[in-house]
Structure 1
Amino acid sequence: MADWNDQRSGVGYEPGISNASVPNTVRDAGLRKHMLSIYNYMTSGVLLSGIIALVMANTGMTTALYSNPILPWIIMLSPLAIVFAMSFGANRFSAGTLQLMFWAFAALMGASLSTIFLVYTQASIALTFFATAAAFAGLSLFGYTTKKDLSGMGTFLIMGVVGLLVAMLLNMWLQSSGFAMAISAIGVLIFAGLTAYDTQRLKAQYQYVRGTDMAGKAVILGALTLYLDFINMFQFLLSFLGSQD
């Protein structure tokens, strides 16, 4: 049987177009548009979070909000609930609903991240943000262009995230600054690896969703994935580059 998606054949199968060969140039243009949409949503989400965090911190809303014993927990746990809902309910939700959930997630993350402005100087936060953006761009470009199969990294990196969460919970009890720095260093490395891995995975995913109803949903879910990689790398890197007030 012919492999319609074999890159070596020079053609690709386009769902919905029968008995038609699609040149690689057309398919590559579709892939670029797909990935650009993911990056646009991801970047817009990060900027929305940053603006909300900055406004809340500078207007005193963060201090007032976190003086309430219940609201901080709602703000911290709500983004996690949205991530699980989007991840496990993607087939049930429409693309429009996933978009609204993504923007709600980014806004709530902004409210949660506003607390960093109470700990670190704005100059060091800005420095860390641009350093993270440069690192993210380089790592994502590597994941997009490399010919090396990064799929073997996936299981290892996910296990690393689980181990990282366990270590963070353990350090809540130990309260060790040295252990905290080690966790941050490992966290930066893990999410750096995930940035490259997820980019390659999202690129490969395109051939399965192009021309289908899942294409729009895949863009939003891909943006969510890269957003999480970026924001986690930023937070761990802030432990090293951030200067406290």
Structure 2
Amino acid sequence: MLPQDNYNRSYVSPGRDRSLSFPSLMRSVYIWMALALAVTGLTAMTIATQPQIVYAIFANRAIFWMLILAELGMVIYLSARIMSMSFATAGIVFVVYALLNGVTLSSLFLAYTAESIAQTFFVTAGTFGAMAVIGFLVKRDLSAIGRFFYMALIGLIIATVANAFFHNSGVAMICNYAGVVIFSGLTAYDTQKIKNMLVQFGDRRDETVMKLALLGSLSLYLDFINLFLYLLRFLGNRR
């Protein structure tokens, strides 16, 4: 997930007058997120129909882990350096990251049926949409809840890594349930955080504000992808 320091953490009362540019900024957040999801999905489906490419990626552990490390490096780099790069460069890095993520997620089409993947996607979209609406409309400051979910996420990562060695099905099931709850909660928290951040910029529509909106898109994109992956473990039908 994204470092919290990239956002202004102060809470803005929902009653404060919003700028005329705020709605378009929020639209740009979701447009970039939708674009990244489309790139990821189309890439995954395309790669899955190419047996030679699939074999080259997943039969060679070195290539697979290089892709994983490249994705992780791009997220960290974009989160930490976005303010020092142009908006165009940041957008390209985001799209390339989404494309690489699609390459690695193409393995899902080998493990699960296309129908169950599609069904899970729509369930994820519904869940994500509901939590985003809650995060956007709720008047209560969700900062404390957000911090709790980020700490829970760290615990989830540690438990998942540890269970990779012990292969305990009970722990795996608990991690799956926790993952759904955590990323549902983070969706609401991140939505409110992005809203409160963008509403503070008055009528500004400069590159700095656009880059902050792009950073928010990346955060919500990651929430959606992770929520989808955890739900797929429950709803997906294996081949």
| TM score, norm. by length of structure 2 | 0.90
SS of aligned partner of 1:89: helix
Q: Superposed, which structure 2 residues align to 1:93-242 within 5 Å?
A: 93-210=85-202, 211=204, 212-242=206-236
Q: Following TM superposition, by how much is the alpha carbon of 1:209 offset from its aligned partner in structure 2, in angstroms?
A: 4.0
Q: Is the 8 A contact 1:164 1:183 kept in 2?
A: yes
CA separation in 2, counterparts of 1:184 and 1:63? Answer: 28
Contact 1:128 1:237 in 2 (8 A): yes
| Superimposed CA distance per residue, residues 93-131 of structure 1 (whole angstroms, 9 cap, x where no aligned partner) | 111111011001100000010111111111111110110
Identity of aligned residues (%): 36
Deviation at 1:244, TM superposition (A): 0.4
Which structure has the greater CA radius of gyration? 1
In 2, the alpha carbon distance for the partners of 1:37 and 1:43 equals 10
- What displacement does 1:234 show? 0.3
> Runs of 5+ in structure 2 lacking a partner?
1-11
> How far apart, in 1, do the equivalents of 2:54 and 2:67 lie?
11
Alpha-carbon displacement from aligned partner over 1:151-196 (angstroms, at most 9, x marks no partner): 1112111101100100011101111122111101100000000000
Does 1:50 pair with 2:44? Answer: no
1:56-67 correspondence runs (5 A): 56-60=47-51, 61-67=53-59
SS at match of 1:70: helix
Counterpart residue type for residue 80 of structure 1:
L
Q: Distance in 1 between matches of 2:116 and 2:207?
A: 43
List alignment gaps of at least 5 residues for structure 1.
11-23
Q: How many residues align?
A: 225
**8 Å Cα contact 1:181/1:239 also seen in 2:** no
TM-fit CA distance, 1:147? 1.1
Per mean C-alpha deviation after superposition, the further-off stretch among 193-202 and 88-97 is 88-97
Q: Secondary structure at the match of 2:107?
A: helix
Code of the aligned partner of 2:110 = L
Paired residue for 2:4? none
Give, in angstroms, the shift of residue 68 of structure 1: 2.0
Q: Is the 8 A contact 1:154 1:194 kept in 2?
A: yes
Do the aligned residues in 2 keep the contact of 1:57 with 1:63 (CA within 8 Å)?
Answer: no
> 4+ residue stretches of structure 1 with deviation over 6 A?
none
Provide Cα deviations, 1:9-43, integer angstroms capped at 9, x if missing partner.
Answer: x7xxxxxxxxxxxxx46x1x421111111001001
Residues 180 and 207 of structure 1: CA distance in aligned 2, closer, same or farther (over 3 Å): same
